[in-house]
Amino acid sequence: MPTSDSGRTARRRAPTLREVADRAGVHVSTVSRVLRQSEPVDGWSESALRVREVAAELGYRPNLWAASLRTRRTTTLGAVMPRLTDGVVATVYQGVEQAARESGYSLLLSSPPDEPEEQRAAIDLLAGRQVDGLLLSSLHSPATDFVSALGLSVPMVALNRHANSGLPYVAGDDRHGGYLAGRHLIDCGYRRPAVIGGPPHATTGHDRVAGFLDALARAGVDIADHHVTHTDFEVAGGVEAATLMLDAPDRPDAIFAVSDSIAIGVLGVARDLGLRIPDQLGVVGYNDIPFASQLPVPLTTVVTPAREIGAAGVGLLLRRIEQPDSVPGDIVLPVHLVERGSTALLVDAGRSS
């Protein structure tokens, strides 16, 4: 409706891709490419910056429906992330969501139970929504047959648990993280260590335990077979495992738990048994969940870059979508240990034997 003196306002016509290109002084294909891509590692070029400025000035919005007809893409990604109530998984998802949004993609999320058949159903559901790619978190090990059986041609990337799936993956350097935990306890003077690993299907837990045992072996420190055990990633699992270890005559003097939740269970059992932390028992966790530093005994832990894992997973998946013939490499992000009150040099702590 045209504008009139009575104050009626005409609906403003949406600017076209051609108008943005003409105003910016570039080809239409350049505008299309710039507005579809996420920010390059080296930053925007001068012409790309100009395109984005002009698009903002004109109020240009991409016609995603028309674009999907041309490219056979939906600009939608799917994410299957069991255990989303876990703080670490939730932080990974925040990285996924932000990176997808900044890249111009919508995101469909499914958080099924951490069981293979439930995951399969969730993957089938999202694939049926014609997503352009899938991010699969917490794959069960071994996952090669599981992924092959899906029979999907949609690009996929694994997050955290790569599980020998044959998929490109993004994860923290869990083996090195376990090594850091073991090396730290040895350097503090603990000599009867134990480790509580994760469930059998979790490669993250396996890698952390393997790194821990590597550190002990290199230092010539023995570990009793019954001081290597496995549970789930929850507090209750830590309570159960730690009760068996700490209420025994040959209790360990230090425990590495492959998740902070397990470590919290260990700390609770130690408190109930009257063990002094860190002089009678050193405890190291993994992941650095938000309240790890605020516990009654602040937790020494290995910091994993959860948000960065999510963002890097989106970047890797988009490369697979946009360059289907390429074979992108896996991404392993660095981790580090932060020392807090649950461990200390034994000579300084005045440890009584």
pLDDT-derived band at 141 (thresholds 50, 70, 90) equals low
Report pLDDT digits (tens) over 147-173: 777 767 789 999 987 666 678 899 999
Residue that terminates a domain, selected from 37, 62, 87? 62
DSSP bridge pairs for 157 = 135
Q: Say what angle helices 87-102 and 306-322 make with each other, to 10 degrees.
A: 40
Same domain, yes or no: 163 and 39: no
> Tokens representing 93?
């998802």
Q: What is the pLDDT of residue 72?
A: 60
Report pLDDT digits (tens) over 266-304: 999 999 999 999 999 999 999 999 899 999 999 999 999
243 or 141: whose pLDDT is higher? 243
Same domain, yes or no: 28 and 48: yes
Q: What is the pLDDT of residue 241?
A: 96
| Rounded Cα distance, 93 and 201, in Å | 21
Look at residue 64 and tell me whether its pLDDT is greater than 90.
no
Report pLDDT digits (tens) over 203-229: 788 999 999 999 999 999 999 999 999
Same domain, yes or no: 95 and 216: no
**Average pLDDT score, the chain:** 85
Which of 243, 237, 245, 181 has the alpha carbon at shortest distance from 213?
181
Report pLDDT digits (tens) over 173-190: 999 999 999 999 999 999
Q: What is the pLDDT of residue 68?
A: 47
pLDDT-derived band at 117 (thresholds 50, 70, 90) equals confident
- 12: in domain: no
Q: What is the pLDDT of residue 261?
A: 95
Same domain, yes or no: 54 and 114: no
Q: What is the pLDDT of residue 69?
A: 41
Q: Which domain covers residue 224, as residue numbers?
A: 174-305+337-349
pTM over 0.85: no
Q: What is the pLDDT of residue 43?
A: 61
- 135: in domain: yes
Same domain, yes or no: 205 and 291: yes
Q: What is the pLDDT of residue 42?
A: 54
- The CATH number of whichever domain residue 37 belongs to comes to 1.10.260
Same domain, yes or no: 218 and 293: yes
Same domain, yes or no: 213 and 341: yes
Same domain, yes or no: 163 and 200: no
Q: What is the pLDDT of residue 3?
A: 46
Percent of the chain with pLDDT over 90: 52
Same domain, yes or no: 200 and 341: yes
Cis peptide before 278 (omega within 30 of 0): yes
Look at residue 350 and tell me whether its pLDDT is greater than 70.
no
Same domain, yes or no: 239 and 299: yes
Q: What is the pLDDT of residue 349?
A: 42
| HEC per residue, the chain | CCCCCCCCCCCCCCCCHHHHHHHHCCCHHHHHHHHHCCCCCCCCCHHHHHHHHHHHHHCCCCCHHHHHHHHCCCCEEEEECCCCCCHHHHHHHHHHHHHHHHCCCEEEEECCCCCHHHHHHHHHHHHHCCCCEEEEECCCCCCHHHHHHHCCCCCEEEECCCCCCCCCEEEECHHHHHHHHHHHHHHHCCCCEEEEECCCCCHHHHHHHHHHHHHHHHHCCCCCHHHEEECCCCHHHHHHHHHHHHCCCCCCCEEEECCHHHHHHHHHHHHHCCCCCCCCCEEEEEECCCCHHHCCCCCEEEECCHHHHHHHHHHHHHHHHHCCCCCCCCEEECCEEECCCCCCCHHHHCCCC
- The CATH number of whichever domain residue 88 belongs to comes to 3.40.50.2300
Same domain, yes or no: 157 and 281: no
pLDDT-derived band at 144 (thresholds 50, 70, 90) equals low
Q: What is the pLDDT of residue 190?
A: 97
Q: What is the pLDDT of residue 62?
A: 63
